[in-house]
Chains A and B, each alone.
Chain A
Amino acid sequence: MKIVDALLDMNTSPTSELAARYRADFPILNLKVNDKPLVYLDNAASSQMPQSVIDRLIRYQTTQHANIHRAVHYLSEIATREYETARRTLQHFINAREDREIIFTSGTTDAINLVMHGYGRKFIQSGDEIILTNLEHHSNIVPWQMLAEEKGATIRVVPINDAGELLVDEYEKLFNPRTRFVALTHVSNALGTINPIKSMIAFAHQQGVPVLIDGAQAAPHMKVDVQDLDCDFYAFSGHKLCGPTGIGILYGKAKLLESMQPFKGGGDMIASVTFEKTTYNTIPYKFEAGTPPIAAAIGFGAAIEYLSKIGLDAIAAYEHELLNYATEQIITIPGVHIIGNTRTKVAVLSFIIDGVHPHDVGTLLNQEGIAVRTGHHCAQPIMQRFKIPATSRASFAFYNTKAEINTLVEGIHSIQKVFS
């Protein structure tokens, strides 16, 4: 876990407030909510968009829009070029070998469903086993359950300890000759736990089992290198990386993608069509049926360029500093408990306040202009594991400040007063 070690090292050295440099790039952060300055701490659900990405979307819609890969006219050529440029931006962002290993999807959920349909339905049979973890959110559980039900396969689940860490020994014990696939989150959305995926991928490969990584919560917060990780698939979404909604990517090793069946049929994913037979296009187009969200893909590329300029290592270090600061503040408040206490976390702080339901916490914090997520975070198995109905989750981005964390802490104090 090189990334984590680096984070922990950096934690001991002072990091200047990244927010001071980049906050002004985000117009929405000037908003007032209930007459209070917005304190946006729901970044794990969706991050905000900088002006440069907004401007890029406007430029595309104003001067570049046309359908792609079809026409020979000027606008179509420009739109096609920009769309494919965005693909290469994503390729370099995660260090994929080739741009054809990047498939644009509508998001992480769509990407996982693509693998389920394209790989799972072809290669997973009755009696086979699929390994998931207790840390998955619903997007990386439900598609595999649907597949298991259809095929008569079995889901095996890696348990976690009380700190919210995967029990890697138990993971290894789950493997047997029937194990066909591993689907594993890089970072837990509800607890922030960073999983030791590199060694877990290596172990699965020793057994000849491919691994999909759900990177929705990791890609915004740390440098991801798919070649270094050697994962077979990696999925994440644009809107958690300062980009638009409705766009994400699936990275897949070219050989695997080539072996898979198309998930959706339609235009652009074919080489030729007659009523007798259709032959499919090459990757990545085989998996991009129909007109894609062109503007969103180009906006996603712009967001990646923006984040790359700041640097994911700098973002990770600063967010870790924010997390440490917030953790130190919140653990000192009597009656408040943090759920997920591993040292290797991204900047997600899930907590419960004794005697106050998280939904009341969310409503009361909103009165102070503070946006946190409350609920089960589409990860009900984690809530069941900790025997709680829900948590309140503050999740930080590089544009958040320590002053905002102080506002959150004051908010928690005032909630406790209301409920005392």
Chain B
Amino acid sequence: MNLKSIYQEVILDHNRKPRNYGTLDNANHHAVGHNPLCGDRIDLALHVEGEHIDRIAFHGESCAICKASASMMTATVKGKSRSEAETLITEFREMAVGNLDLSGPHHLGRLAVFAGVRDLPTRVKCAILPWHTLQAALNSNAIVSTETAEDSIHAANSKA
């Protein structure tokens, strides 16, 4: 693993200038993602109209990897349908734990810059947390944590 594969310019840029950062008026889906081990906290709000995520915003305290992941996630899923978002959540998780062959078919596009976290087991949770939070928000769960027993991030990590 080399440093450039994770702290590359696109990630640093999203960390410096996170897209869709802030709160959302009239959100109809909301979730807070929390990693108690490092204190990362992502507060995610969505407005879903029919099947489409038409608006999305996040705020919170987190490391660069988590914040950039959240920023790029919001930029990617905005305007997409629920099922498209679910596909991205699955593919992103699989990529982060090294189970996705990026040379094969996938929908991740620029999100593939996060592939490097698979070599940093302690940072996989940082990258996945926003996506985990998105899934919780779509399912209307209020709070998710990376450390709960039924947590899918644990399951994902154990595969890594």
Residues of B within 8 A of A418 (CB): 7, 12
Contact-residue size bin, chain B (C-beta under 8 Å from the other chain):
10 to 19
Take A418-B12, A419-B12, A419-B64 as given contacts and tell me if A360 and B7 are in contact as well, using a CB distance cutoff of 8 Å: yes
Contact B39–A360 (Cβ < 8 Å): no
Residues of B within 8 A of A419 (CB): 12, 15, 64
Cα(A124)–Cα(B38), bound, Å? 34
Contact A363–B120 (Cβ < 8 Å): yes
Binary CB contact string for chain B from 1 to 45 against chain A (1 if under 8 A, 0 otherwise): 001001100001001000000000000000000000111100000
**Count of chain A residues with a beta carbon within 8 Å of a chain B beta carbon:** 16
Residues of A within 8 A of B123 (CB): 359, 363
Closest CB of chain B to A216's CB: distance in Å? 20
Contact A390–B64 (Cβ < 8 Å): no
Closest CB of chain B to A28's CB: distance in Å? 20
Task: Find A357's partner among B3, B6, B62, B122 (CB 8 Å cutoff).
Answer: B62
Contact A375–B38 (Cβ < 8 Å): yes
Cα(A103)–Cα(B12), bound, Å? 51
Is A311 part of the binding interface, using a Cβ–Cβ cutoff of 8 Å? no
Contact A376–B64 (Cβ < 8 Å): no
Residues of A within 8 A of B15 (CB): 419
Interface residues of A in 375-399 (CB under 8 A from B): 375-376, 383, 389-390
Cα(A418)–Cα(B12), bound, Å? 8
Most central of B6, B7, B64, B122 by chain A CB within 10 Å: B64
Contact A360–B64 (Cβ < 8 Å): yes
Is A8 part of the binding interface, using a Cβ–Cβ cutoff of 8 Å? no
Is B65 part of the binding interface, using a Cβ–Cβ cutoff of 8 Å? yes
Pick the 7 closest A-B CB pairs, nearest first.
A389-B39, A357-B63, A359-B63, A367-B3, A360-B64, A360-B63, A359-B38
Which positions in B face A, CB cutoff 8 Å?
Answer: 3, 6-7, 12, 15, 37-40, 61-65, 120, 122-123, 126
